[in-house]
């Protein structure tokens, strides 16, 4: 197991031990949020989810990530563009789609720093997500590669890049702020 993985396991054990102490002391699984000092009720049921998502018809999207490209689909009949990509056109019903690469610079429409995370994201430091509008005419929701929201504002130019997300070690895409002319 990686060093980061063992740190995650250690954190979870400490967290669960603190909850058991509170349940023994007060009879309830109540703890205090370290960031906000707000009281939290800890649900005693563990929810573990793993998804198997069918990707038939959009395999090219994942092949693109391997090649460092983020791709969308465009309908050959009516010209409608889709991101996330779709295997068929919901506008005219055809399956005649072509694959295109997202290129150029988008514009950051909105963004938010995520400090309260789902359990499966607790091992990440706080992160920023954003929505950017690209010249192709669609919006992209993704993590933003920035250390703080003070570096961003609505209208910030961004490009889309492929990166390897750790510790899971898979390819994904992120929005990268850029200066005009980059």
Q: Do both 117 and 144 map to the same domain?
A: yes
Q: How many domains does the chain have?
A: 3
Would you say the pTM of this structure is higher than 0.85? no
Residues 136/107, Cβ–Cβ less than 8 Å: no
- Domain membership flag for residue 165: yes
Dihedral (C-alpha) 21, 26, 30, 31: value to the nearest 10 degrees?
A: -50
- Domain membership flag for residue 46: no
Q: State the DSSP H helix or E strand holding residue 18, giving kind and residue range, or none if neither.
A: helix 3-26
- d(CA 36, CA 84) in angstroms, rounded, equals 35
Residue 81 structural domain: 59-101
- d(CA 112, CA 131) in angstroms, rounded, equals 9
Q: Do both 81 and 34 map to the same domain?
A: no
pLDDT per residue as tens digits for the range 131-163: 999 999 999 999 999 999 999 999 999 999 999
pLDDT per residue as tens digits for the range 26-42: 888 888 887 888 888 88
Work out whether the CA dihedral 154, 155, 156, 161 comes out positive or negative.
Answer: positive
Q: Do both 86 and 110 map to the same domain?
A: no
């Amino acid at each position: 197991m990686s060093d980061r993985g063992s740190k995650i396991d250690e954190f979870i054990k400490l967290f669960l031990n603190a909850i058991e102490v509170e349940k023994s002391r007060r009879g309830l699984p109540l703890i205090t949020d370290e960031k906000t000092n707000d009281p939290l009720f800890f649900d005693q049921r563990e929810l573990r989810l793993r998804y198997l998502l069918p990707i038939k018809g959009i395999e090219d999207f994942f092949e693109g990530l391997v090649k460092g490209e983020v791709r969308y689909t465009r309908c050959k009949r009516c010209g409608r563009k889709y991101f996330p990509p779709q295997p068929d056109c919901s506008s005219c019903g055809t399956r005649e789609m072509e694959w295109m690469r997202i290129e150029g610079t988008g514009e950051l429409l909105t963004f938010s720093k995520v400090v309260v995370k789902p359990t499966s994201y607790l091992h990440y430091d706080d992160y920023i997500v954003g929505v950017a509008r690209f010249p192709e005419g669609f919006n992209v929701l993704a993590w933003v590669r920035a250390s703080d929201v003070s570096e961003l504002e609505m209208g910030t130019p961004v490009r889309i890049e492929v990166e390897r997300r750790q510790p899971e070690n898979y390819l994904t895409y992120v929005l990268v702020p850029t200066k005009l002319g980059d």
